[in-house]
Amino acid sequence: MSTPSAGSYPLSRPTGVCAASGRSLAVGERYVAVLVEMPESDAMVRQDFSLDAWEGGARPAAPGRVFATWRSVMPEPTAPKKLLVMSDDELLDLFEQLSESTDQKKLAFRYVLALLLVRRKLLRYSGVRGRGPGSKMLVSRKPTAPGAEMPTLEVVDPGLDEETLSGAMQQIGELMGIEATPMVADSVEPKPAGEVPAGGGA
């Protein structure tokens, strides 16, 4: 399966309608947002499901496949864009949801999301193990208490070229309400294997 192009991710607000029932989702109602992968193309579409429908087993219709999900709350129709962001917990849950996947698209999505979470200071960057595609960026969550040790998490580098990485960061950032800046190297500069610091900071 190919890695994502700059146009792979939809930029859309909540649809306001449950994809399973067609019912309008009420302001303040919790729902499940789903990125749906379409096998015949590199594009994905977004669908929203009421919590009852999702927990009752409703899923995107074939041939669409669930790529990623997150739970959110339906905002006011006139809510400013800054109120449509995903919460920190939602972003971290989505990051961890993708941790076991070996699918190339999901690896690329998780890598870009990790870079954005480092930017947002929800993850701390501590170095790189290896070089080039397949190397592993090392990150950890912020400590839950002063002096607490947090486990190191490995994020596989899918080998995206600079243009694709920049485009994906911009689009995923807009989709999830994360500010994305064009350049990554100034705050996340890969270190050669053997130079991974013991601590780490964003």
Domain ranges of the chain: 30-176
Q: What is the mean pLDDT of the chain?
A: 77
The per-residue DSSP string of 4-73 comes to P-TT-S------SB-TTT-PBPPTT-EEEEEEEE-TTSS-EEEEEEEHHHHHTT--PPTT-EEEEEEEEE
* pLDDT of 8: 54
* pLDDT of 190: 45
Beta bridge partners of 47: 34
pTM for this structure?
0.69
Does the pLDDT value for residue 113 go beyond 80?
A: yes
Question: Residue 93: phi, psi to the nearest 5?
Answer: -65, -40
Using pLDDT thresholds of 50, 70 and 90, give the confidence band for residue 109.
Answer: confident
Does the pLDDT value for residue 106 go beyond 90?
A: no
pLDDT digit string (tens) for 47-83?
999 999 999 999 999 888 888 888 888 887 776 555 4
Q: 73, 50 in Cβ contact below 8 A?
A: no
**What is the C-alpha separation between 167 and 41, in angstroms, rounded?**
18
Give me the residue label for tokens 């193990």. 129
11-20, 64-73, 81-90, 142-151 — which is least confidently predicted? 81-90
